[in-house]
Amino acid sequence: MGITNLTLVVAGLIASGGFSLVAYGQEEVRGTYVVDIPAGAYQAGADHYVPANIAIPAGTTIAWFNDDPNQPHTVTSGLPNSNNSGTEFDSGVMSVGAFFQHTFDDAGEFDYYCTIHPGMMGRVSVSTAMWEGHHFNVGMGAGASFDFTKNERSLIFIEPTSLEIPEDEPVTYELAIMKNGEEVFSDEFRTLGGLLYVELVPTDGETRILGPDVSDPIIGAYHIEGSFLKDNAAYTIRPEITLLFDQPPEEEIADEFSIQIVPEFPLSILVPIAAGIGASIIAGRRLRK
């Protein structure tokens, strides 16, 4: 299915403290997460790649866009002068308005940089851990160790497993987050094909939602920012499909997943808590339908 006339909303803060809106027409983009190369990225002390350090589940496709006027850039795996530079991925020279995509299927830490401006560097952390509920599979970029002192942000995918959804059909989710049993967040998220990407971003500011990164069609990641995510607490994430093909489903389609953030210890827990559903933890490559 070709994808054209895209509008993309950049996921991270740029130097001005705002958010960048960029339009790219008549190009095929299947990325679900956007990283921006903003104006002035080549300068020392500037924001080079926005966001620069991200944690994603395996199977995520990142699209980098060059929005730096009159400045070519590259997205090249490795570090400057390293022997493995460019062996994982390499965009080649990207002029302003160009983009590059790469799908991360394997777990690991992937540094990258610009060969034209070696001071520009970023990192992608990839986890293959996945948790299985009754209706959904859930993967988290931060993996089993939900530690935001290590990862500034963590992308989650939510994939329906109890029903088949064509990739061009709309689905509306109600996503709720509870902290110590009390609801602290709830909102609707719309996507196509049922696969929902939501990034959790702990901040000191007010709660807000950004995205989706790719909005035409709606296949990109959303971003939830909030200070409540920084607390040491027991959390529950509850995804529920409230509209299927723009109609309420005949039966409830929902699961609950428990998250315990304990900064004092190296590991935390993300497990399905719905009783009697035979939920299990799956470690391995994420399978796309």
Asked if 204 and 216 sit in the same domain, the reply is yes
The residue whose two tokens read 């409230």 is 242
pLDDT, residue 99, reads 94
Q: SS3 string of 106-124?
A: CCEEEEEECCCCCCCEEEE
Asked if 273 and 183 sit in the same domain, the reply is yes
Q: Per the domain annotation, does 249 fall within a domain?
A: yes
Give the C-alpha separation, 261 to 235, whole Å.
Answer: 8
Q: Per the domain annotation, does 200 fall within a domain?
A: yes
Burial of 241 (0-12, 13-18, 19+ CB in 10 A): buried
Asked if 143 and 75 sit in the same domain, the reply is no
Q: Interior CA angle at 139 toward 133 and 142, to 5°?
A: 135
Asked if 153 and 257 sit in the same domain, the reply is yes
Asked if 115 and 140 sit in the same domain, the reply is no
Structure tokens at 178: 């509870």
Kindly report the CATH number assigned to the domain that includes residue 50. Answer: 2.60.40.420
Structure tokens at 70: 């009159």
Asked if 257 and 220 sit in the same domain, the reply is yes
Asked if 275 and 142 sit in the same domain, the reply is yes
Asked if 104 and 168 sit in the same domain, the reply is no
Q: How many domains does the chain have?
A: 2
Structure tokens at 78: 């490795």
Give the C-alpha separation, 213 to 197, whole Å.
Answer: 10
What residues contact 107, with CB distance under 8 A and at least 6 apart?
Answer: 58, 126, 127, 128, 143
Give the domain range for residue 103: 6-126
Q: Mind listing the pLDDT tens digit of every residue in the chain (289 residues)?
A: 222 223 333 333 332 232 233 334 435 667 899 999 999 999 999 999 999 999 999 999 999 999 999 899 999 999 999 999 999 999 999 999 999 999 999 999 999 999 999 999 999 999 998 899 999 999 999 886 667 778 889 999 999 999 999 999 999 999 999 998 899 999 999 999 999 999 999 889 999 999 999 888 888 999 999 998 887 777 899 999 999 999 999 999 999 998 766 553 333 445 555 433 333 323 232 333 3
Supply φ then ψ for residue 127, to 5 degrees. Answer: -120, 140
CA-nearest of 174, 158, 152, 169 to 241 is 174
Kind and range of the H or E element at 69?
none
pLDDT, residue 28, reads 65
Asked if 146 and 201 sit in the same domain, the reply is yes
Kindly report the CATH number assigned to the domain that includes residue 145. Answer: 2.60.40
Q: Per the domain annotation, does 289 fall within a domain?
A: no
Asked if 163 and 267 sit in the same domain, the reply is yes
Asked if 142 and 278 sit in the same domain, the reply is yes
